Amino acid sequence: MAKKPKQSSNTIAKNKSARFEFSIGDEYEAGMVLQGWEVKAIRDGKVNMTESYVFLRNGEAFISGLTIAPLNAASTHVVADPTRVRKLLLNRRELRKIEDSVNREGDTIVALVMYWSTSFVKVKIGTARGKKLHDKRADSKAKDWQRDKARIMKGSNR
């Protein structure tokens, strides 16, 4: 059996739609409480975080909608729930700051990236506000211009 090529990046999964749909304010790094079968599935890359969101309850942060597909071999002895609500680990000061942002300014909390930090799984979350249609168009236009500018500069260097 051939080994998987080693990834140079420590990124597990990205929520690409989050930066398109929301303008991100403050970003925080949070740990995650996981079960053993989930870690094995994450190592195999069976993660989908496009529909995930973060909510606060009783002074604690939880992530919901994060799908970790169980491996057939690793989860034979446990009942695996791929979309269970998982607890996020944050400092009390960070939790208070996020809670203030949500309650006072009406922001939402969005999961942006899941990645490895040494042997721990971390999730980057951010306080976000929804973008209007004209904001999305402006971002799309700026992205297109950056791509065209790079092509022009690449062509002029030859």
pTM of the predicted model as reported, rounded to 2 decimal places: 0.75
pLDDT at 130: 80
Any domain includes 26:
yes
Q: What is the CATH number of the domain that holds 66?
A: 2.40.280.10
**Which of 10, 38, 15 is closest to 126 using CA atoms?**
15
Give the model confidence (pLDDT) of 7-59 as tens digits: 557 889 888 888 878 888 899 999 999 988 888 888 888 899 888 889 999 99
> Binning pLDDT at 50, 70 and 90, where does residue 4 land?
low
Terminal Cα distance for the chain, rounded: 44
DSSP secondary-structure letter at 65? S
DSSP secondary-structure letter at 34? -
Cβ atoms of residues 121 and 96 within 8 Å: no
Any domain includes 66:
yes
Any domain includes 135:
no
Report how far residue 31's alpha carbon sits from residue 40's, in angstroms, rounded to the nearest whole number.
17
Give the model confidence (pLDDT) of 75-85 as tens digits: 567 778 888 89
Strand (E) positions, the chain?
A: 11-14, 22-32, 47-48, 53-57, 60-64, 67-68, 86-89, 108-117, 120-130
DSSP secondary-structure letter at 106? -
Residue with tokens 């942002």: 101
Tell me the β-bridge partners of 117.
120
Give the model confidence (pLDDT) of 91-108 as tens digits: 999 999 999 989 888 888
Tell me the β-bridge partners of 24.
128
Any domain includes 18:
yes
Any domain includes 151:
no
Mean pLDDT of 104-120: 89
Report how far residue 88's alpha carbon sits from residue 143's, in angstroms, rounded to the nearest whole number.
33
Tell me the β-bridge partners of 142.
none
Q: Tell me which residue range forms the domain holding 93.
A: 11-130
Report how far residue 111's alpha carbon sits from residue 30's, in angstroms, rounded to the nearest whole number.
10
Helix ranges (H only) for 4-132 are 16-21, 36-43, 92-105
Number of domains in the chain: 1
